[in-house]
Amino acid sequence: MGMLFSLMLAFAMPQDAAVANNADLQCMALFSASTAEAPEDKQAGLVAGTMFFYGKISGRSPRLDVEAEMFKLLTADPRGEGLEKNRQRCAGEMKQHGDLLIAMGQRMVESSKGQ
């Protein structure tokens, strides 16, 4: 329950949209660029990561030209060295949300057994 509360609190706090968008764009670019090089059994997870971060950005800033921002990011760092520095942060965020959803699903399954 504590993890859910801290997650809700994080979403409730105001944050600079440009800073948050930049962080999420870096993750989106990282997952997107990694997809083409990844083994086939890892590609679905990378696509899901790309979509997750795109959803965060588009929900926060629906008028942001994500394609143009991605192009700027990838043009500024064509070898992806700057993006690579974000791998642990981006993967950690995906894992945190994935674990939260798994736990939620398990609680729902458990609660439905008693009905």
The pLDDT assigned to 13 comes to: 46
pLDDT at 23 over 70: yes
Q: How many domains does the chain have?
A: 1
List the single range of 27-31, 34-38, 50-54, 111-115 with lowest mean pLDDT: 111-115
Confirm whether 114 is domain-assigned: no
Confirm whether 51 is domain-assigned: yes
- Find the domain containing 36 and state its range: 18-105
Of the pLDDT bands very low, low, confident and very high (cuts 50, 70, 90), residue 14 is very low
DSSP the chain: -HHHHHHHHHHHS---HHHHHHHHHHHHHHHHHHHHHS-HHHHHHHHHHHHHHHHHHHHH-TTS-HHHHHHHHHHH-TT-HHHHTTHHHHHHHHHHHHHHHHHHHHHHHHHHHT-
What would the pLDDT profile of 49-102 be if each residue is shown by its tens digit? 999 999 999 999 999 999 999 999 989 988 888 889 999 999 999 999 999 999
Of the pLDDT bands very low, low, confident and very high (cuts 50, 70, 90), residue 4 is low
Confirm whether 11 is domain-assigned: no
Closest alpha carbon to 46 in 57, 54, 38: 38
Confirm whether 5 is domain-assigned: no
